[in-house]
Amino acid sequence: MNEEGRAYRDELTLKSLVRKFEDMVEQGDQAFFDVDELEGLIEHYLEHKAQRKAQAVLRYSCQLYPGNLTLKLRQAQVWVAIGQPVKAVPLLKELLEIEPHNEEILLTLGTVYSQMSEHKHAIDCFQNALVFADPETRREIRIDLALEFENMGAWKEAIRNLHDALREDPSNETAVYELAFCFERTGQFKRAAEFYEQFLEDQPYSFAAWYSLGNALQQCGRYPKAIEAYDFAIAIEGAFGPAYHQKAEALVSMERYQDALHTYEETLAFEDASPGTRCYMGECLERIGDLARAETYYRESLKLDPQFADAFVGLGVLADMRDQSREACSYFEQALEIEPHQADYHLLLANTLKKLKEFDRAEELFTKGLILDIKNEDLWIERMDNLQIADRHEDALMIAEDAQTALGQHPAMGYRKFISLYATGLHKEAFDLLEHLLTHYFDQSEILIKFLPALANDARFNERIERFKP
């Protein structure tokens, strides 16, 4: 659009233009509009999601200017807007043959291919547009390219384009966030932290970079430094909710539950309480022993979202802490109905059933949980305990072999295997295993007397404990 056409974007002028067109349609008259006016009308209607009116303008445009390339391009854009990108492809290709260096046509065709999940074609279009684009548009195209590479799982290329976007515009927050996403998906948390630390030397007021640095440090387990980064992000952008929530998570990881609770409370000054916020506040209160208030927050969470599974889990944990195992089971079952693929929910329910001596049902849930998460150590350990408490030591030994396949050498499972070998009379195998465990993992041997008190009177056991004691 030329400068004269852009003048029509002025609000008052545009309103007059819209009124003129809609009066014409209503009255069934004919009126004159130049190309820039028609283009301005189409853009206006697309911006306001009035696709039918945009189509009406296009139909009238074809009558006035049947061969106009600009209006044909707008036709393609309308097809994209109404969810018919396939129709736009041949028209855009036709226009590209006429004007092969037209940046807008290339970008529109790239967008169409992107919507059609034809990412390689989209990349070709965006890369060609990059050659002819002005500096401001180039920065936007870099982001488009990065997103297409992300969709293809080509993380290295996505990261390269995001770096280029930031070199051209260090204030580009979209590039900062997308770069963080790429690092996260590729597990490059240390590299991400190093990048953002360097980036912030030149851009110390980028709250997006401080926030992304906090996330990277948190993933590396550097919680105090992560909290510092979140505090800088909050100092720059005081109403940026995600920074508060991530800071609270880091504080929870450090077992600073009171501080985490205060951080969640701070968000209520600028955003409505979400089910998640209420639930996690309840968890903090639970950890500091204020069970009554914790229950209140869990129930408030469910008022906001009756399907918020974590709140049911919280209520279940509270019931379990109060020795109300049946009630706890009910809450964990409700959580599982909502989120049936959560392995940890299976673990919670199974452990509660174990307390109720419903060993068979607990075993069923442990098994289902391990199907969902074969590497879950707690599920393996608690499943083994469940079988041993039920005096099913032969089954426990079979489970021990499966656990070794899944986890490798695991001292906690090794000691439990010793218990079942001993209980089934396989004493030589049991004590051979015990000597290996005491050699490498003596500090974990204390669980043995807890699970098998008879060992305290076994001279063979006591001799080995004394011999291998560090």
Rounded to whole angstroms, the Cα distance separating 468 from 470 reads: 6
For 67, 123, 304, 366, the CA distances from 75, given in Å and listed in that order, are 12, 23, 44, 58
Lowest mean per-residue pLDDT among 77-86, 93-102, 276-285, 378-387: 77-86
Rounded to whole angstroms, the Cα distance separating 241 from 274 reads: 11
pLDDT, tens digit, for every residue of 390-409? Answer: 999 999 999 999 999 999 98
pLDDT, tens digit, for every residue of 402-429? Answer: 999 999 989 999 999 999 999 999 999 9
Instruction: Report pLDDT for 12.
Output: 63
For 204, 232, 248, the CA distances from 211, given in Å and listed in that order, are 12, 8, 13
pTM over 0.85: no
Instruction: Report pLDDT for 459.
Output: 92
For tokens 């974990």, what's the residue?
Answer: 444
Domain assignments of the chain as residue spans, ordered by start: 1-83, 409-470
Which of 291, 258, 263, 295 is CA-nearest to residue 277?
A: 263
pLDDT, tens digit, for every residue of 73-112? Answer: 777 777 777 777 888 888 888 888 888 888 888 988 898 8
pLDDT, tens digit, for every residue of 313-359? Answer: 999 999 999 999 999 999 999 999 999 999 999 999 999 999 999 99
Instruction: Report pLDDT for 392.
Output: 95
Residue 201, pLDDT > 60, answer: yes
